[in-house]
Structure 1
Amino acid sequence: MMKSLLPSLGPASRGFTRPLALRHFHRTAPAYLPRRRNFFSSNVFLMPDGSLPPSRNLPASNGTGTAKGKAATDTKISNEARSAQNKRKPSLKNSLHRVAIVAQKGVPSKTPTSIDTADGSSTISAICVAESFDMDAVASILAQHNFKLDPDATGFEPTEVVHARGLNHGDIFVFPSGTVVTWALPSNIVNTLATQYLLPAAESPFVADKEVEDLDYVEDPEQEQSRVSGDVVVLGTRREAEAGDRMDTTLAKIAFSSGLARSTKLAVLESSLTRYLESTRYIPDQLSRGLQSPLSRDLILQKTGELLNLRSQLNHYNDLTDALPDIFWDSEEKLETYYAKIGKALDVGVRIKTLNDKMTYAQEVVSVAQDVLNISEKNSSEAHSTRLEWIIIILISIEVCFELRRLYMEKYDVFQEELLAELRKITASPPSSQVNSGGK
C-alpha cells in the first residue's frame, strides 16, 4: 500500500526497501498529543534550532543505524548551541551607553577594573582638566619631556590638535577645549600628564572637578575602514599592516579622539549644571509656600551670570553644538563619518538638547525669583509710602491741635485782661458813701 503512494523513480527506486516518513505542516490530531513548548509548529523544518523533536525522529535503518547516530549527533549539537545561545553574557561595565548615561547625570565616570589592563594597551582615556589649553605651551611642554610631536605628519595645525607619541607607541592628543585623549597608555600616566605636566598650559583649570571617560578599542588588520562596533572602537589597520603607513590609523584616532573629547567636555558642563541646580533647588519650594523672595538681588545677579556662562560655553565658546568641527573641514569624508559615529554612540546630540532644556528651566527659576523680588520690593515701597503718608497726616493733625489751642488760649487771655481792667477801675474809684460824707 505504501509503495503505491511513492512516485515512480525508475530503476533507482527498486532497491529502496524502507518507506519514507511523510511530513505534514500540521498534525491531524493535535488534541491527542502532549503539550510542547514548541507547539506553534509541528513541521520539523520550522523548529527554532533546526533539529528534530524526539517524537518525530526518523526511524533508523536496521542495517547500519546511521540515521539514529546522525539524529543523536544533531540533537546534541543543537542542544549545545541552544544552551550557549541562552547563556546570558555579562554586561560590559565600560559600554558607550553607560559612559553617556554617567556623563549625562554629571557624575565623573571611574575607570572600570574589569576591562583595564596593566599597561592600558587597549584603552582610550579622555580627561578634561581645564576650560582651555594654550596650545603653544602644550607643544613646548611635550617637547621638553621628549615626546615626538606630529610623528605621522598629519598636517593639522597646533592650534587645532597636538599629537605626540611616547616610547611605548602610545598616542597623545591634546585639544584646545582643555581635554587630553590618550591611546594605549596606563591610567596613572594619563592622570599625571593631564593634572601635572600640562597644568601650566591650562587656562582656568579645575583639577578637583575633572571628568574622565574610558573606552576600549581593538585593531583589525583585515579591515581598512574603522568603525564603532557595539561598545568597542574598531580600528582598521590594514594599510598599516601591509604597507607600514600609519597615516590612516592616526587620522581615525584623531577623529574618534575629537568626538570623545567633545563628550568629556560636555560631561564637565553637565556636572557644573548639576551643581548649579543643587544650589537653587530650594527656590521652587519656598515660592510654593508663598514666602518672600528667596534670593537677594546680588544673589540673583550671581546666579544669572553663572547660568549665562554655562550656556555660552555650550553654545558659543566651544565646538560642542557644531555638526562638524573646523578641524575636519578640509579633511577626508571618512573622518567626518568617524566623528559622527562616536558622537551618536555617546548620545551627544541628545545630551546637548537635554542640557539646553535644563538651562532653560534654570533660567525660568531665576526669572521667577527676579519677578518675585521686584514685586516684593514694589509692595515694600508702597507700604513705606503709605506709612509716610500716615505720619504726615498725624503730624498735620497735631499741628492743627496746637493751633486751636493757641487760638483758644489767646481768646482766654483777652477775657482775663478785660476782667482785670474792670477790677482796676473799681478799686481805683472811691465808694459813693465816702464821697457824700465828705461833702457835708
Structure 2
Amino acid sequence: MRPSLQNVVASTFRGLHTVAPLSRPQRCFHQPIFASIPRKRSFFTSHRLLASSTKDGVSTTSEDDTTNSSETQQQSPTPASKRKPVRASAAKTLRLGLTTKPPQRTTTPRKDTTDSEMDYRRTITSICVAQSFDMEAVQDILRFHAFELDPDGTEFDPTGVVHARGINNGDIFVFPSGTVVAWSVPTDALMTLATKQLIRAAQLPHLNRLEMEELEFIPDESRDTSYMKGEVVVLGTRAQELENHRLDTTLAKIAFSSGLARSPKLAVLENQAIDYFQNSKNSLDFIEGGLEHKLKRSAVLKMTGQLLSLRSQLNHYSDITDQLPDMFWDSESNLENYYNQISTILDIRQRIGILNKKIDYGFENVSVLREMVSEKYGHRLEWIIIFLITIEVLFELRRVYRESISEASSE
C-alpha cells in the first residue's frame, strides 16, 4: 500500500527535528555605505585646482582659480620631450680642462625616426681604431670583402682616402690617420668592419681606447651645394636626384668626412694627455708635501717619451693640424668650405691649441722632475767622492804613522 502525501510530509518534518543543527556561519565585515562612496576631489588636499567642487557633473571653479590656472598654463614651458637636446661636442668638454675625462658622446635620438633603419640612414659615424693605416692593405681587405672601391670616379689618391660602397649602399671613407667614416651604415656593421677586418691593416691599433663621433645629416634635393646647420650636415643632392650623378655629392661627403675624421683622432690624443696627467699627479703630490720623491731616472725618461710621442702624433704623424688636406688643393673651392665648416663646428683648432698648451705644461713638469732626479744623483756622486777622499786620507795618515814609527825605532 503506497504511503499517502500527508504521511510523507509528516515524516520529513520529523526528520528535520532529529538532524543536528548546522554550524552558525562566521560573521563577515562589510564595507560601510560611506566608504563605498567615491572620494571627492577636495578630500584632504590643498591644491586649489583639485579643491574645486563638482556639481551635477559640471565643474564650478571660482574665477580666481580659473585665472590662476590660465596663468599657470601660460607660464609653464613646453614639454621637454618635444625639444631636441643639444648634443655635447668634444670641444666643449675640453674647455673645462684636461683634468677630467670627457663624457661619452652619442647623438640624441631623432624625433622623426621610428625605427633603427631610419636612424642609421641619416647618421654620419666616425671611429678611430689605430694610429695609422696601411692604405694598400686597406684596399686589399675591402676588395676581398666585395666592396666597390671609388664607385663614383673621384680619382683621389688612395694614400689620402679610400672610398668604398657596399653595406646597404652606404659610403665608407678610410683615412690614413687610423679613422673610418661611414654614411648611412649601421653602427654595429661599422664596428665589425673597423675592429675585425680593417684592424689587420692598422699600425699601432688601440682597441681599448676607441673614440667615436656621430653627426646627423639631412639630404636636400633642392640644393646643389651643402652646408652646416648647427651640428647637422645639410647635403645638397639635386644633381644626384635629377641627373643620377653622384660625383658632387660624394665629393661633399669626402670633404665633410675629412673634417669629421679629425675629431675622434683628436679625442684619442686628449684622453692620452688626461691619462698622463693623472699618472703624474702622484709625483707632484710628493713635491707639494715637501717629501723626498722616490722617482727613478727610467720613469722620468718614460714620461718624457710619452710627451714626445703625444706631440709628434698631434703635429707631425697625422694631418690633424693641416689647414687643408693636400687632396683638396686641385679640387673645387666648395670642398675647402665644407672642410672648414665642420672643423669650426667641432672646434678643432681650439682643441689643438689647448692640447699643445697642455703638452707644454707637461714638459715643464718633466723638466722639474728631471732636475730633481739629476740633483739626487749628483748628491750621491758627491758623497761617493767624499768617501773615496776620506779613505785616501786614512791610507796616507797610516803611511805617515808607519814612517814615523820606523824612524823612531831606528834611532
Bin of the TM-score, shorter chain as denominator length: 0.7 to 0.9
User: Displacement of 1:132 after TM fit?
Assistant: 1.1
SS at match of 1:204: strand
Distance 2:346 2:331 in 1: 23
Distance 2:74 2:90 in 1: 32
- Is 1:103–1:109's contact at 8 Å kept on the other side of the alignment? no
- Distance of aligned partners of 1:113 and 1:350 in 2 relative to their CA distance in 1, 3 Å threshold: closer
User: Displacement of 1:176 after TM fit?
Assistant: 0.8
Distance 1:270 1:367 in 2: 21
Give the alignment's TM-score, normalised by structure 1.
Answer: 0.69
Which residue pairs with 2:163 in the alignment? Answer: 163
Amino acid at match of 1:118: S
- Distance of aligned partners of 1:150 and 1:108 in 2 relative to their CA distance in 1, 3 Å threshold: farther
User: Displacement of 1:227 after TM fit?
Assistant: 1.1
User: Displacement of 1:82 after TM fit?
Assistant: 7.5
Distance 1:103 1:327 in 2: 29
Distance 1:83 1:237 in 2: 42
Structure 2 counterparts to residues 37-116 of structure 1, below 5 A? 90=83, 92=85, 95=87, 97-102=88-93, 107=102, 109-112=104-107, 114-115=109-110
Distance 2:269 2:148 in 1: 32
What is the aligned residue count? 331
Give the alignment's TM-score, normalised by structure 2.
Answer: 0.74
Which residue pairs with 1:376 in the alignment? Answer: 376
User: Displacement of 1:194 after TM fit?
Assistant: 0.3
- Is 1:127–1:180's contact at 8 Å kept on the other side of the alignment? yes
Structure 2 counterparts to residues 236-315 of structure 1, below 5 A? 236-315=236-315
Amino acid at match of 1:364: E
Distance 1:241 1:83 in 2: 46
Distance 1:309 1:281 in 2: 20
Distance 1:308 1:125 in 2: 30
Are 1:333 and 2:333 an aligned pair? yes
- Is 2:167–2:185's contact at 8 Å kept on the other side of the alignment? no
User: Displacement of 1:293 after TM fit?
Assistant: 5.0
Which residue pairs with 1:354 in the alignment? Answer: 354
Kindly provide the CA deviation profile for residues 285-318 of structure 1, in whole angstroms up to 9, marking residues without a partner as x.
2223344454322222222122111111111111
- Distance of aligned partners of 1:167 and 1:193 in 2 relative to their CA distance in 1, 3 Å threshold: closer
Distance 2:393 2:136 in 1: 74
- Is 1:103–1:267's contact at 8 Å kept on the other side of the alignment? no
User: Displacement of 1:398 after TM fit?
Assistant: 3.5
SS at match of 2:89: helix
Are 1:364 and 2:355 an aligned pair? no
- Distance of aligned partners of 1:235 and 1:294 in 2 relative to their CA distance in 1, 3 Å threshold: farther
- Distance of aligned partners of 1:107 and 1:391 in 2 relative to their CA distance in 1, 3 Å threshold: same
User: Displacement of 1:328 after TM fit?
Assistant: 0.7
User: Displacement of 1:108 after TM fit?
Assistant: 7.0
SS at match of 1:218: strand
Q: Which moved more, 1:349-358 or 1:309-318?
A: 309-318
- Distance of aligned partners of 1:313 and 1:108 in 2 relative to their CA distance in 1, 3 Å threshold: farther
Which residue pairs with 1:28 in the alignment? Answer: none
Kindly provide the CA deviation profile for residues 143-182 of structure 1, in whole angstroms up to 9, marking residues without a partner as x.
2212111111112121111111125221101111111000
Amino acid at match of 1:198: L
User: Displacement of 1:85 after TM fit?
Assistant: 8.1
User: Displacement of 1:383 after TM fit?
Assistant: 2.1
Amino acid at match of 1:127: I
Distance 1:247 1:147 in 2: 18
- Distance of aligned partners of 1:369 and 1:265 in 2 relative to their CA distance in 1, 3 Å threshold: same
- Is 1:293–1:369's contact at 8 Å kept on the other side of the alignment? no
- Is 1:269–1:314's contact at 8 Å kept on the other side of the alignment? yes
Amino acid at match of 2:85: L
User: Displacement of 1:270 after TM fit?
Assistant: 1.0
- Is 1:252–1:338's contact at 8 Å kept on the other side of the alignment? yes
User: Displacement of 1:139 after TM fit?
Assistant: 1.4
Distance 2:350 2:85 in 1: 22
Amino acid at match of 1:109: Q
- Is 1:258–1:339's contact at 8 Å kept on the other side of the alignment? yes
SS at match of 2:116: coil
SS at match of 1:173: strand
SS at match of 1:235: strand
SS at match of 1:198: helix
Distance 1:298 1:364 in 2: 18
Distance 1:397 1:171 in 2: 88
Distance 2:347 2:301 in 1: 33
Which residue pairs with 2:17 in the alignment? Answer: none
Larger CA Rg, structure 1 vs 2? 1
Structure 2 counterparts to residues 193-232 of structure 1, below 5 A? 193-232=193-232
Kindly provide the CA deviation profile for residues 364-412 of structure 1, in whole angstroms up to 9, marking residues without a partner as x.
111111111222222222222222222332333344334444444455x
User: Displacement of 1:245 after TM fit?
Assistant: 1.8
Distance 1:372 1:302 in 2: 16
SS at match of 2:261: helix
Q: What percent identity do the matched residue pairs reach?
A: 44
Kindly provide the CA deviation profile for residues 200-219 of structure 1, in whole angstroms up to 9, marking residues without a partner as x.
11111111211111111111
Q: Which moved more, 1:268-277 or 1:360-369?
A: 268-277
SS at match of 1:216: strand
Distance 2:294 2:84 in 1: 46
User: Displacement of 1:331 after TM fit?
Assistant: 0.9
Kindly provide the CA deviation profile for residues 340-374 of structure 1, in whole angstroms up to 9, marking residues without a partner as x.
01000000001000110011011111111111122
Which residue pairs with 1:118 in the alignment? Answer: 116
User: Displacement of 1:103 after TM fit?
Assistant: 6.9
Which residue pairs with 2:185 in the alignment? Answer: 185
Are 1:394 and 2:389 an aligned pair? no
Distance 1:327 1:108 in 2: 33
